[in-house]
Structure 1
Amino acid sequence: MNAMAMKLTGRFGFAQTLTWIVCAMLMLPIVIVVVVSFGKSSFMLFPPTSLSIRWYTQFFESPEWMSALFTSFVIAIMTSAIATLLGFLAAWSLVRGQFGRKKLIISFCLLPLIVPSIITSVALYFASAPLDLVGSKIWIAVCHASLALPIVLLILIGSMQGIDPSIERAAAGLGASGTRILLTVTMPMVAPGIVSAAFFSFLTSFDELIVSLFLSGLTTETLPVRIWNSLTMNMEPVIAAISSFLILLTTGLLLLELAVRRFRK
């Protein structure tokens, strides 16, 4: 028994060490980008010969970069609102509804996760161009919401299945209408899932490049599109600063989502 326990402990220790090595390898590129972003040189250099916040200053003082950042924020907020609302209603109907072929409907809703983004982007472009919707922030948000909807749906279906239906039946037995049950019983109980869905749909839109490349115009250039255009023309060190900013933003949102979940518990 002792020999077997030592053998299992050794295997567990090896697996744990291997996990830390893999995590370190995944984190290394992020660390390199962050370090490069503080370089003072006019070209990307690692390790930097001197440290400076020159490229962060250039990013936040550039009207073009700030316009792209603002556009991305506006589109991501609209995407989050659309995807979360539709995802919640869809999850509620799929979990509580009494109708058939639910698995088929869920599979259809999850198609954006399966279909390659380039195919989706081309299809959306050919559907948008005749209607003169290319360059519309609202339309881009709707298209981004179609990509974020599967993620929202998976999160909220899981949250909805964790609710005891007897609580809703008890509210109905006390005279509450279906709308009141939804707003005062169901939604508060799945609030952590709604918050998570909103954050992930926001990040899905904020980081989306391929669909934005096809649908954005001169006045609706998102931050990922501007980064792409900058990389194709000139490898500026400001890209490292922007990447570090996006890493910080993503980390902050994920920590905020975790804090909200813990607060709700």
Structure 2
Amino acid sequence: MIRKLLAFHFWLVVLFLLAPLIFLIPISLGESQFLEFPPKQLSLRWYREFFQQESWMEALSLSFRVGLGATALSVIIGTLASVALVRGNFPGRSILTALFIAPLIVPTVVLALGLYMVFLRWQLVDNTLALTLAHAVVALPYSILLVSSSLRSFDMTIERAARTMGAGPFKAFMLITTPHLAPSIFAASVLSFFASFDELIITLFVSGGQQTLPVRIWNDLSLKIDPTVPAAAVMLTAVSALLMLAGEMVRRRNEAHNQNSHNAEE
């Protein structure tokens, strides 16, 4: 009975989360320049409009550039930090870990205000590099949590064996440990990219006059009702879901591979 209630609750939550798409997809396929549900005539007009308007393309391009930059920074820094936090033994390690994952706990508006004050003092507001750094701060916890978890499950004796065979610490890490971490790094990259790509509040504070895709959607909803917005939202959701699914498939395949290897060793 309890399992049935939990299953019912689970699917109820899933339905609640997916409910907006039930309305959003038909609205995005409407022909009218006003939002209609159900649409009187189906058309891809607003999807074409999205790709034909230069302002939408500029916002999309900026989101991709900032997202890729933030992902690279968060994955590189997060991987190196994870190695230090998992393998290191130094005073203040737990405090440092808490600081790294704080962006997941601290309210976003508080973090955005703090970043805005710092960037304003350094005259970095309305700067693409500063925006990339701000997004990297938000994405960093995902890399640290995923890579750290993978590192804890790695058998260090394999790396030590490589070092006894003549490999240096860096070479042993790159050839032995990195392949084990690759699925976690990929999953961290996906999560980090979309943490940056979907970020709105911090971007509103530090972007100045620059518009990422979420900011452009926000501005359009604030100023007018543009049917291009539902089309952009549907495409953004679809791409996010596909990449999240890819990341989950890679993670599960890696878990299955590790389990099979462990069973073979036994």
Letter in 1 for 2:96: I
TM-superposition CA deviations, 1:41-67 (whole Å, max 9, x none): 211111111111111111110000000
Q: Distance in 1 between matches of 2:55 and 2:217?
A: 11
Q: Distance in 1 between matches of 2:81 and 2:230?
A: 39
- Please tell me whether residue 183 in structure 1 is matched to residue 183 in structure 2: no
| Superposition CA RMSD, Å | 1.5
Q: Which segments of structure 1 move beyond 6 Å, counting only runs of 4 or more?
A: none
- Percentage of identical aligned residues: 36
Q: Find the counterpart in structure 2 of residue 253 from structure 1.
A: 243
Deviation larger for 18-27 or 144-153: 18-27
Q: Find the counterpart in structure 1 of residue 219 from structure 2.
A: 229
Q: Distance in 1 between matches of 2:16 and 2:87?
A: 44
Unaligned runs of 5+ in 2: 258-266
**What is the TM-score of this pair, normalised by structure 2?**
0.91
Letter in 1 for 2:244: L
- Please tell me whether residue 166 in structure 1 is matched to residue 147 in structure 2: no
Deviation larger for 109-118 or 62-71: 109-118
Letter in 2 for 1:79: A
Match of 2:88 among 97, 121, 144: 97
Match of 1:125 among 93, 116, 131: 116
Q: Find the counterpart in structure 2 of residue 197 from structure 1.
A: 188
Number of aligned pairs?
A: 255
Q: Distance in 2 between matches of 1:165 and 1:101?
A: 23
Deviation larger for 18-27 or 155-164: 18-27
Q: CA deviation at 1:263?
A: 5.5
SS in 2 for 1:176: coil
Residues 12-51 of structure 1 aligned to structure 2 (within 5 Å)? 12-51=3-42
Residues 148-163 of structure 1 aligned to structure 2 (within 5 Å)? 148-163=139-154
- Please tell me whether residue 84 in structure 1 is matched to residue 75 in structure 2: yes
Q: Find the counterpart in structure 2 of residue 6 from structure 1.
A: none
SS in 2 for 1:43: coil
Q: Distance in 1 between matches of 2:8 and 2:122?
A: 56
Q: Distance in 1 between matches of 2:178 and 2:198?
A: 28
Q: CA deviation at 1:151?
A: 1.6
Q: Distance in 2 between matches of 1:107 and 1:227?
A: 33
Unaligned runs of 5+ in 1: 1-9
- Please tell me whether residue 241 in structure 1 is matched to residue 231 in structure 2: yes
Letter in 2 for 1:67: E
Q: Find the counterpart in structure 2 of residue 141 from structure 1.
A: 132
Letter in 2 for 1:201: S
TM-superposition CA deviations, 1:137-180 (whole Å, max 9, x none): 12111111111111211111101111011111111111211111
